[in-house]
Amino acid sequence: MTFMRLSCSIPDSQLPKKMLQYAMRYYSTRNRNNSVNFAQAALSGLAPDGGLFVPQEIPRYPPTAFFSLGAMSYPDIAFETIKPYVRDEIPDSTLQDIVRSAYTFDAPLVGIGDRFILELFHGPTAAFKDFGARFMARAFAYLRRGEDKPLRILVATSGDTGGAVADGFFKVPGIFVTVLYPKGRITPLQERQIAGLGANISALAVEGSFDDCQRLVKAALADEGLKKKMELSSANSINISRLIPQAAYYTAAAIRSAADNTGVGITLCVPSGNFGNLTAGLYAMKMGAPIKAFIAATNINKTFPDYLSTGEYQTRISQATISNAMDVGAPSNFERMAAHFSLDEMRRLILGVSVSDEETRETIVKVHGETGYFLDPHSAVGWKGVDKLLAKDNPNSRLLSEGPVGVLSTAHPAKFSETVEPLIGPAPLPESLARAMKRTVQSQTIPAEVSAVIEILNKEDA
Ligand SMILES: *Cc1c(COP(=O)(O)O)cnc(C)c1O
């Protein structure tokens, strides 16, 4: 789906006065007293107290915006979405340049069977994380202009983040990236995307799970010795500068789906792991995007759906599945969601559902058989999540009977050919993935111990 471009920006005179008067402040989820600006929140990643930065308030699109948003190109929607969060820190003209160079691809909303699919895999690493990572890399380059001390970014990845961040920051001057990934738990293609670039990107294969990688990054970021030697930051979905730009594709999808509908907002199903994506969706909804509700679909790592049904938040050890980018037992962004919403509010806005590997495989086969469409395992979790809620015996089925329903397709099926191909044959390989497959992996294997990471970082800095 493409959209005519009628107008590209909302003049400041149409914005509510309030929005012009302050720069957005960000505070830690663990301490509401100390706030920082966008640059500080983005560049430090994690708050000094170990919390996550959240905006002091979620801004609203100006009411007039919705006339023009529907006619805008994707970069222009991204511009209007991000602007209130970075106001006074990134000039409009720079923000325009950033979104235009970051979003050289769209987020098409396609009709498949009885629902929409929001295809988020048209970026260079073929997963939705390109949307956050490409903005973040460009924003960092701008916010650090004139700085001579190099910055080292640490990223823990369950597969897709590492590739997107590595690609986004590849050859950005003055910035070095170290990606930690669970050895043997990511696909050969993902490993090449992460560990095949070289230059300013280095890769550590950790003998452990994604949760271990995340723990090592958190510990290294907090290490006083390292902090004295180098400037450190993170680029996980815990980084607010990755999360905010993701709100834009929710708004784009909601507006585009509303074009042929009568006022009932769309229900969007989000295949979730660390819950950065869903949190961005909640931001878009609070900004005023016409979204009726969300479905949080997980694989068997169902900490969050269980929280919605029992009211108790209990993290677990993650279990390996075929939708490995969602193998998260302790979703980081829960802390952020809980900072904005109570349990009751979350229950009103989000339905939880979990899907097994067997159901995921059946869904890939069924959807391909019925429609010819290739789903990757993560997107198939989303599709099946909707099916489960639509089932007649599900008390929520009536909720979905009104208004459009969409599933976020978080990765291209060719990225997970190990699972998809034996089921339904090969999905056509996008050019960017074909290129990545030709790279050679250069990574170091380390035990899941903080001391190992610290030792390597100390050496790399020297
Ligand atoms: C990262 C990822 C997810 C999970 O997204 P979160 O923001 O961590 O919830 C789902 N699908 C794919 C393909 C991913 O790469």
In order, the DSSP letters of 269-332 are EEE-SSSHHHHHHHHHHHHT--EEEEEEEESS--HHHHHHHHS----------SSGGG--SS-T
What confidence category does residue 428 fall into, taking pLDDT thresholds of 50, 70 and 90? very high
Q: Is the CB of 279 under 6 A from ligand 1?
A: no
Ligand 1 midpoint to CA 367 (Å): 21
Residue-level pLDDT at 4:
32
Which CA distances in Å does 370 have to 114, 201, 420?
11, 42, 16
The CATH T-level fold of domain 130-239+435-461 is Rossmann fold (3.40.50)
Q: Is the CB of 411 under 6 A from ligand 1?
A: yes
Mean pLDDT check: name the lowest of 6-20, 90-104, 231-245, 290-304: 6-20
Mutate to test the pocket of ligand 1, among 122, 242, 272, 337 (most ligand atoms within 8 A of CB): 272
Q: Which of 83, 129, 218, 302 is labelled catalytic?
A: 129
Ligand 1 midpoint to CA 262 (Å): 31
Residue-level pLDDT at 392:
76
74-86 vs 92-102: helix crossing angle, rounded to 10 = 140
Q: Domain segments of the chain: what residues?
A: 105-125+242-429, 130-239+435-461
Closest CA to 423 of 461, 380, 456: 380
pLDDT averaged over the chain? 90
Residue-level pLDDT at 315:
96
Residue-level pLDDT at 22:
67
Ligand 1 midpoint to CA 172 (Å): 24
Q: Which of 133-147, 186-200, 322-336, 365-379 has the highest mean pLDDT?
A: 365-379
For residues 89 and 93, give the distance between their C-alpha atoms in angstroms, rounded to a whole number. Answer: 12
Q: Is the CB of 332 under 6 A from ligand 1?
A: no
For 102-118, the pLDDT digits (tens) are: 999 999 999 999 999 99
Q: Which helix (H) or strand (E) segment is 36 a member of?
A: strand 31-36
Closest CA to 249 of 221, 276, 227, 212: 276
**pLDDT, mean of residues 77-96:** 96
**pLDDT, mean of residues 17-44:** 83
Q: Are 420 and 409 in contact (CB under 8 A)?
A: no
pLDDT above 70 for 7:
no
286 is catalytic: no
What confidence category does residue 370 fall into, taking pLDDT thresholds of 50, 70 and 90? very high
Residue-level pLDDT at 400:
78
**pLDDT, mean of residues 9-16:** 46
Residue-level pLDDT at 261:
58
Residue-level pLDDT at 216:
96
For 314-329, the pLDDT digits (tens) are: 999 989 999 988 999 9
Residue-level pLDDT at 3:
33
For residues 381 and 354, give the distance between their C-alpha atoms in angstroms, rounded to a whole number. Answer: 8
Ligand 1 midpoint to CA 339 (Å): 21
pTM assigned to the model: 0.89
Question: What is the distance between the terminal CA atoms of the chain, rounded to a whole angstrom?
Answer: 50
Give me the sign of the Cα torsion angle 111, 113, 117, 122: negative
Q: Is the CB of 273 under 6 A from ligand 1?
A: yes
CATH of range 105-125+242-429; options 3.90.380.10, 3.30.70.2190, 3.20.20.20, 3.40.50.1100: 3.40.50.1100
Mean pLDDT check: name the lowest of 57-61, 166-170, 362-366, 401-405: 401-405
Residue-level pLDDT at 456:
94
**pLDDT, mean of residues 136-164:** 90
Residue-level pLDDT at 246:
98
Residue written as token pair 């990225």 = 415
Two domains, one topology: 105-125+242-429 and 130-239+435-461: yes
What confidence category does residue 355 fall into, taking pLDDT thresholds of 50, 70 and 90? very high
What confidence category does residue 237 fall into, taking pLDDT thresholds of 50, 70 and 90? low
pLDDT above 80 for 13:
no
Which CA distances in Å does 335 have to 58, 279, 315, 344?
16, 10, 12, 16
Share of the chain above pLDDT 70, in %: 93
pLDDT above 80 for 353:
yes
271 CA closest ligand 1 atom index = 10
- Beta carbons within 10 angstroms of residue 430's beta carbon: 18
Q: Is the CB of 288 under 6 A from ligand 1?
A: no
- Strand-strand pairing, 109-112 and 115-119: antiparallel
Can you list the positions of beta strands (E) in 166-236?
175-182, 201-207, 231-234
Q: Which of 144-148, 220-224, 362-366 has the highest mean pLDDT?
A: 362-366
